[in-house]
Amino acid sequence: MDFTYPPTVCFECNGCGLCCADTDHKLRHILMLESEAEEISAQTGKHIEEFAGESSGTQPYIYEMKKVQGDCVFLKDNKCIIYELRPLICRFYPFELKYDADKGTHVFTATPECPMIGQGKLLSKKDFETLYALAEERLPQS
Ligand code: SF4
């Protein structure tokens, strides 16, 4: 596992739902892998077209979650109703993983948009190893 991560970041999700909806400053793009959309469809009995639209130029993510009045279609009473099936992007928030070609390694960064960055427990390397392993498992190997 070759990645770097913010060594002294605290975070604990408080279920505020901010990351599941558009904000005044940000249009949310909840991108999904084909495998994730198929799994959600299989488990919910919904056709992919009922909850996702095709997304272009965002490979390997080929679907984008639909929204209702700015909220993810699966956000009900501020709760994710497919929590166990939620896509990688949702599991990663408020972190992002990008490949830094100059450094030749993957880099985790945190978005300051999330009000819970700096709150809660200090995250360990183990926490980021778990996310990295999930990305390795789901993302097509380049
Ligand atoms: S799938 Fe769930 S966690 Fe992801 S944006 Fe929708 S409601 Fe939020």
Ligand 1 pocket test, candidate residues 31, 73, 74, most atoms within 8 A of CB: 74
Lateral strand order in the sheet of 31-32: 31-32, 63-65, 52-54
Taking only the tens place, the pLDDT of each residue in 5-21 is 999 999 999 999 999 99
Distance 102 CA to ligand 1 centre (A): 33
Given the CA of residue 82, which atom of ligand 1 is nearest to it? 2
Q: Model confidence over 107-131: pLDDT tens digits? A: 999 999 999 999 999 999 999 999 9
What is the CA(101)–ligand 1 centre distance, in A?
Answer: 30
Q: Cα of 41 to ligand 1 centre, how many Å?
A: 14
Task: Tell the residue nearest (CA) to atom 4 of ligand 1.
Answer: 90
Global pTM value: 0.89
Q: How far is the CA of 133 from the centre of ligand 1 (A)?
A: 21
Report pLDDT digits (tens) over 42-89.
Answer: 999 999 999 999 998 888 999 999 999 999 999 999 999 999 999 999
User: What order of strands is seen across the sheet that includes strand 95-100?
Assistant: 3-4, 105-110, 95-100
